[in-house]
Amino acid sequence: MEYRDDVRDNDALRASFNNLTRRTFGFDFSDWYDSGWWSAEHTAYTPHVLVSGGRVEANVSATAILFTVDGAPLRTLQLGTVMTAPEQRGRGMQRRLMEHVLEKAADYDLVYLYANETVTEFYPRFGFVPAVEYAFSCPMPADGPFSAVPADAGDPAGLRKLLALRQQGNPFSAIEMPGETGLFMFYCSGFLRDCVYFIDELNAAAVAELDEGTLLLHDVFCPEGTPLEDVLSALALPGAKRVTLGFTPKDPSGMLCEPIVEDGGLFILQGGKNPFAGRKMRLPTLFHT
């Protein structure tokens, strides 16, 4: 097996990588690449693959992301898109790739990943331990004087507006990743394309989706000092009874805070900084790989 890390810029390898991603997860990164968001300018997302006969057989992707947590920098490395071709499983490919990627773990304050329920016993072999994230929620406010209108991030004018509003940052979040545009657009131009809204009266943009009466507010961008209740009331979609934040609020007062219970979940590499120690937090949902 040949190790390669030049998937993004190699047409044949990228096509094979996308094929394995479709087989494993049911989607691929073709549109993300074609739209220009999977580029060195916008993201550090890097597949690390093993190749046989020109075909990608296994992968561990790594993305270096600079967080700010309460304004302080935190250098992180997120692992994701972990996959092996079914016919190649059991041959130690993931171990080889994980060991290679983790050789540079000392360069980062925090190394983490999200695991599904089938591999929770695999990652502790490399020093990863589970971490509990917390969801912050509150009742959905009643309709207010402001209105949210759907935005199309695929439309050039809508895209320019979204990116301009994003420059304001999320004044309600304790954790931000201002330099990572690629992953943000992976969601906003893909899975969550229909979940982007503009609130013109507040000079704001929001990414929010409604699921069984709960509005998940992934992110919001607006001027400092904007009342959160104004944003939420503008997003009061029909049927929404509660709001859950997809980020850690700076001010959680008045919010219900509950552990996120799911199969798998967040794993953190031991030995680095652990922002979850002694604090109830949630990493922003728009930056999962």
Residue 181 belongs to domain with CATH number: 3.40.630
Q: Measure the CA dihedral 67/71/74/78, to 10°.
A: -20
- Neighbouring-strand partners of residue 244: 137, 216
**Residues 57 and 198 both lie in one domain:** no
Tell me the CATH number at 20.
Answer: 3.40.630.30
**Residues 157 and 248 both lie in one domain:** yes
Q: Identify whether 287 is part of a domain.
A: no
**Residues 93 and 156 both lie in one domain:** no
Q: Tokens 């919010």 map to which residue?
A: 255
The one-letter code for the residue type at 216 is L
Q: Contact 141/233 with Cβ under 8 angstroms?
A: yes
Q: Which residue has the higher pLDDT, 120 or 77?
A: 77
**Residues 175 and 275 both lie in one domain:** no
**Residues 254 and 274 both lie in one domain:** no
pLDDT interval class at 77 (50, 70, 90):
very high
Per-residue model confidence (pLDDT) at position 121? 86
Per-residue model confidence (pLDDT) at position 139? 95
Q: Contact 140/240 with Cβ under 8 angstroms?
A: yes
Per-residue model confidence (pLDDT) at position 171? 96
| Per-residue three-class SS string for 26-45 | CCCCHHHHHCCCCCCCCCCC
pLDDT interval class at 275 (50, 70, 90):
confident
pLDDT digit string, tens, across residues 160-216: 999 999 999 999 999 988 889 999 999 999 999 999 999 999 999 999 999 989 999
Q: Tokens 């304050």 map to which residue?
A: 109
**Residues 54 and 195 both lie in one domain:** no
**Residues 104 and 151 both lie in one domain:** no
**Residues 109 and 226 both lie in one domain:** no
Average of per-residue pLDDT across 127-151: 93
Question: How many domains would you assign to the chain?
Answer: 2
**Residues 213 and 265 both lie in one domain:** no
pLDDT digit string, tens, across residues 245-269: 999 999 999 999 999 987 779 999 9
Question: Which letter does DSSP use for residue 64 in this model?
Answer: E
Per-residue model confidence (pLDDT) at position 87? 94
Main-chain phi, psi angles of 134, to 5 degrees: -125, 140
Q: Identify whether 288 is part of a domain.
A: no
Least confident of 11-20, 144-153, 201-210: 144-153
Q: Which two tokens stand for residue 24?
A: 């494993």
Q: What residue numbers bound the domain in which 213 lies?
A: 135-258
Query: In which element (H, E) is residue 197 found?
Result: strand 196-199
